[in-house]
Amino acid sequence: MSKKHTKKTAQFNAVTAPETPETAVSAVFGFEDMLGELEAIVAEAEVRLAQEAALA
């Protein structure tokens, strides 16, 4: 008879730092900054597409 081997998986307990007002505010500013950058990229792309359409 053969023995079945079972793998034991390690259990990890995720430890998260409590959210302080400083980290909450920086997360909001980070989101707003990223949103502003994305809006700028979209605006530049729209201008570029309009220029390409005008040349065609």
Q: What does the pLDDT average to over 44-53? A: 97
Instruction: Write the pLDDT tens digit of every residue in 10-38.
Output: 666 666 666 666 666 566 678 888 999 99
Would you state the pLDDT for residue 32? 87
- CA dist 46 and 52 (Å) reads 10
Tell me the three state secondary structure of residue 36.
helix
pLDDT at position 31: 87
pLDDT at 56: 84
Alpha carbon distance 18, 53 (integer Å): 52
- The model carries a pTM of 0.48
Residue 1 has pLDDT above 60, yes or no: no
Cα→Cα distances 38→18, 24, 25, 27, 28, Å: 29, 21, 20, 16, 15
